[in-house]
Amino acid sequence: MRPLTIKEKRRRGRHGQHGQAQRAYSYCTCRIILAVLVLIINTAGWAGAADADALVLRSEAAVLMEYTTGEVLVEKNPHRQLPPASITKMMVMLLVMEAVEAGEIKLSDVVVTTPEAARMGGSQIWLEPGEEMTVAELMKAVSIVSANDASYALAEHVAGSHELFVEMMNKRAQELGLTNTRYVNSTGLEPDGGGEGNITTAYDMAVLARELLKHPTILQWTGTWIDSLRGGESFLRNTNNLVRFYEGCDGLKTGYTDEAGYSLVGTAQRNNVRVIAVVMKAPTSAVRNSDITKLFNYGFSRFKSLPVAKSGDTVGKIRVIKGEEQEVEILVGKDLILVVKREEQAEPEVEIVLPPHVRAPLARGEKVGEALVKMDGEVKARADLVAAADVAEVGFFRFLFQVARDFFAGFFGG
């Protein structure tokens, strides 16, 4: 039988990380178990991080974190160092998005595949030397099918070389306080010829995921179940089955090697509550998905969201110095939502932080202050306060007239 050509391999969709979807586990069983566990938890009045054994987690390490506060709700061997496999690529995704935000690269940049990138094994999109793809297309490949060749190509594009990019990865890990994380490559593959590979912990990956979620564009890729590249020639199916099978799941990254076992950094959002769940070194993909499902369900059973203000709500007005208008309305820049424990009874307090005035020119939507939501004196949520309209700057003589007018108005009590 003749070997398959590259084109035939692409058409067969050999871009998944672990082969065909595994649907052996029963979601109904998971829900029944979770319902009983939640009843036990609520009856006992648990607080703080739960005992992972109570959730019957079979993965070697696990962490459940609430997104807005970073509070850890469940942990099992959270600081045990383990090989991350492809969840390594979360750091690649973060550095790419930070480079885009800084204006150093663009999602529309065309990346030319090097021979080194094309040689990457494991999960891939079969890039050929000299093949061109945009940064956005490569990010799609990394996010959906965990493509090693795409990850390597992005690393070279951002830093100029793979070696320099790995230095960036380790530097960023230090900045984020990922003290138990070390990178030797951008793919998570075990090094050729042996030697120490990438290493991390479930807790470090939860912290990294929380940082990555500051770039919500990433969820457009990680939350996609089916897509394609090369004009539909290359089929992409998400390696994270929960994106399809768990309501609200929209990321983030799977991982698997023989040494690392099955890992997943997942995130899901329901009713404005977002949680991050990490499991590492599960024995099978079915166990990995089951453990993440249990963690998600537990997180959503413990938290609720309290709407405080809506985007566009008017807060008041602020004085504008040297402006065509002397004052401008202030709006809440985004929905202000407080996420709290379900048993929380205290009323939130909102503090408006504004300077006495702002200076023209002022653009519509420009930040002028901040709204802080506090519980028991601690800031739990915040949102920018923005200008409701453009305010142009006046000329010198008109500015002098404004100053004189304000002076006499104040002097005479006008």
Catalytic positions, written as ranges? 86, 89, 146
- Which amino acid is located at 47 in the chain? A
Cα separation, 355 vs 335, whole angstroms: 22
Cα separation, 1 vs 118, whole angstroms: 26
* Residue at token pair 């990490």: 278
Give, in order, the Cα–Cα distances in Å from 180 to each of 10, 140, 207, 249, 267: 37, 28, 12, 27, 22
CA nearest neighbour of 84 among 173, 190, 174, 170: 190
DSSP string, 384-412: EEEESS-BPBPPHHHHHHHHHHHHHHHHT
- Check if the beta carbon of residue 90 is closer than 8 Å to that of residue 252: yes
Give, in order, the Cα–Cα distances in Å from 413 to each of 41, 326, 393, 399, 407: 64, 18, 27, 21, 10
Cα separation, 190 vs 339, whole angstroms: 40
The values of phi and psi at residue 289, to 5°, are -65, -40
The values of phi and psi at residue 48, to 5°, are 80, -165
Beta bridge partners of 337: 307
- Which amino acid is located at 24 in the chain? A
> Exposed, middle or buried by CB within 10 Å (0-12, 13-18, 19+), for 174?
exposed
Cα separation, 172 vs 187, whole angstroms: 16
